[in-house]
Structure 1
Amino acid sequence: MSRIVIAIMWLLHWLPLPVLAAVGRGFGRLLYVFVRRRRHIVAVNLRLCFPELDDAARRRLARAHFAALGRSLLERGLVWWASEERLRRLIRVDNEDVIRRLKDAGRPIILLAPHFVGLDAGGAGIAMRFDSLSMYARQSDAVIDHWLLHGRERFGDQMLLARDDGPRKTVRAMKSGRPFYYLPDMNFRTKDVVFVPFFGVPTATITGLARLARLAGAAVVPCPTRMLPGGQGYVVEVGEPWENFPTDDVEADIARMNREIEAVVRTMPEQYYWVHRRFKTRPAGEKKPY
């Protein structure tokens, strides 16, 4: 089955992006109808994060999210097979000179890349410009795993680490001049986490950003990817390095990270990865929401 999916994605990647985007939005609408479990997760997440919206508004946001998600899934074929020339036209990196300036100064860099649906396109945009470092989780399906890995490695000299690799490898790679494309905003484990607010909800959040920034002396640079409307492509929005980070208070640092991510989510709420059970780990005695 996975080979059929890959073949369809390969055929679709030849389409002009506006056409592919329309097909992807339609695919996402089908996912909204038929993938009930994920629809339930999205509904719970939106209820927790946007209590000020009424039910109808949250349903509209959920449908918009699935349309964006469908786009991102099919447009991943571009990341896997489109020429570098085409991808450079479709994926813009704003303010990449911020990264170059820090590299020239010999400063290790953490690119804070929250889980927006354009994440893989953003990773390709960075990889076409910089030999960088990122995390990789092996997939259970060998065919999907092969192509995901291929997409991460096709440009430049990229270094991929497993989630369970220790911080020493990460710090060494950053100190060697590789920007670290880092995704710290998912609920994958229960160790090295603190409960800090995300949209006002106490959320189990890994402390890796603060710990790695301190160990490497790294600058933290916001690096979200925005999917543009109408099949116009993607833009990686490189920001200025955070000032006064990290501090001596890890919990306060991670709370700041969540506030910064939340602020970007509010500018494009349909594009955040709401199908993930972000709030599945709860403080002791608190009921699980899903």
Structure 2
Amino acid sequence: MKPADADNLLHPSLIPVWLGVGLLWLLHWLPLPLQAAIGNALGWLLALLPGKRRHIAATNLALCFPEASTRTRRRWLRQTFQASIRAVLEHGVLWWGSEARLRRLIQIDNPEAARGDGVRPVIWLAPHFVGFIMGGMRLSVDQTVANLYARARNPVSNKIMLRGRARFSSPVLIEKSDGIKPVLKALKDGLPLHYSPDQDQGRLNAVFVPFFGIPAATVSALPRLAKLTNAQIIPVITRQLPWGRGYRVCFYPPWDNFPGDNLEADVARMNAFIEERIREMPAQYLWLHRRFKTRPAGEPSLYE
């Protein structure tokens, strides 16, 4: 699609996207266990087909779990596709489901932990597990939340995503390209920030710290924001439950002594926490992303 057509929602090139949106709208009327069964079947099929995303996921699993058997990693690869496709299809519930249905399908284990000490600003560290958007949407039902987001490549997906996220409590949606000022304002205004800084976004504002023992370019904004705003870091993990039983959101205790005196050590601490959660449910992390795309100077690509 040409740049001139970027805001034309009726451009012919977007017809397949609109068809996909229509499919999600139809699926959202189905019971979640049936949606899950469809997602599992499609994920199983896609995991069998060779392709770029399958190669990326298989490479990530091999790099991060060299001690696991080939059979185990293949099982995790299949389950990764199943969990990811499930989450995509179940987004229809987020965009069009009722508030009552979201409350029923996405449970919060310990909502009282969400605001920490209730005095300082709060940053919710929400790593990229397959259910992280589900958790973020559920939390926005109960309160106004600030969310950082990346603009989608096509205007239809972007419109649907923004409309869906804004259905409850009028959240503050901050595009990543807007810079730090709206983030600081949201925290100053007392809004919790739902933040996911665990993807490879290149060298800008990144440090190389271990992730499963491999140097990984990791965004360093979490300790920087905590230092600038005196914010508490409260991790929040959303788990996808089997058999279409929905999702479960769990808050962890606020981090003590964060940030410390060493930026790289703070970022490494974040990665270590995420590693621990991944080991609890290896198939639910976003392995389809090239987590090790950016390499230290002179190192070859790990995906070729």
In the superposition, the TM-score normalised over structure 2's length comes to: 0.92
Correspondence for 2:90? 75
2:6 aligned residue: none
Among 181, 201, 223, the residue aligned to 1:188: 201
State the Cα distance separating 1:203 from its structure 2 match. Answer: 0.5
CA separation in 1, counterparts of 2:253 and 2:110? 9
Aligned residues of 1:119 and 1:224 also touching (Cα < 8 A): yes
Q: Amino acid of the residue matched to residue 85 of structure 2?
A: G
Q: CA deviation at 1:67?
A: 0.7
1:36 aligns to what?
A: 51
The 1:213/1:69 distance shift into structure 2, 3 A limit, reads same
Structure 2 residue aligned with 1:201? 214
CA–CA distance in structure 2, aligned partners of residues 101 and 205 of structure 1: 25
1:115 aligns with 2:128: yes
C-alpha separation in 2, matches of 1:276 and 1:32: 15
CA contact (8 A) 2:116 2:234 kept: no
Q: Deviations over 1:71-123 (max 9, x none)?
A: 00100111100000011000011211122454xx3310000000000111111
1:5 aligns with 2:15: no
CA contact (8 A) 1:43 1:62 kept: yes
8 Å CA contact retained: 2:107, 2:248: yes
Distance 2:246 2:80 in 1: 17
Q: How does 1:86-235 map to 2 (within 5 A)?
A: 86-100=101-115, 102=117, 105-235=118-248
Cα pair distance change 1:29/1:190, threshold 3 Å: same
Equivalent residue, structure 2, for 1:49: 64
AA partner of residue 40 (structure 1): H
Structure 1 residues not aligned, in runs of 5+: none
Aligned residues of 1:13 and 1:82 also touching (Cα < 8 A): yes
Letter in 2 for 1:97: E
- Say whether the 8 Å CA contact 1:224–1:238 is kept in structure 2: yes
RMSD in angstroms over aligned alpha carbons? 1.1
In the aligned structure 2, how far is the partner of 1:67 from the partner of 1:121? Answer: 16
Say how many residue pairs are matched: 288
Which digits, 9 at most, give the CA deviation of each residue in 1:21-75, with x for residues without a partner? 1011112122223361100000110010000012222111100110111100100
What is the letter of the counterpart of residue 186 of structure 1?
A: Q
Alpha-carbon distance between aligned partners in 2 of 1:207 and 1:191, rounded to the nearest angstrom: 9
Q: Name the residue aligned to 2:260.
A: 247
Partner residue, 2:39: 24
Contact 2:106 / 2:249 at 8 angstroms: preserved in 1?
A: yes
Q: Matched residues in 2 for 1:181 and 1:226: separation?
A: 16
Q: Which residue of 1 aligns with 2:77?
A: 62
Indicate if the aligned counterparts of 1:171 and 1:216 stay in contact, CA closer than 8 A: yes
Deviation at 1:149?
1.1
CA offsets, 1:136-171, max 9 Å, x none?
A: 211121111111111211110201111122223211
Range that drifts further, 139-148 or 267-276: 139-148
The answer to whether residue 279 in structure 2 is matched with residue 266 in structure 1 is yes
Give deviations 1:171-190, integer Å, cap 9, x for gaps.
Answer: 12112111000000001221
> What is the CA–CA distance in structure 2 between the aligned matches of 1:139 and 1:247, rounded to whole Å?
35
Question: Of 14, 19, 28, which aligns to 2:29?
Answer: 14
Amino acid at match of 2:243: G
Report the Cα distance in structure 2 between the residues aligned to 1:6 and 1:34, rounded to whole angstroms. 24
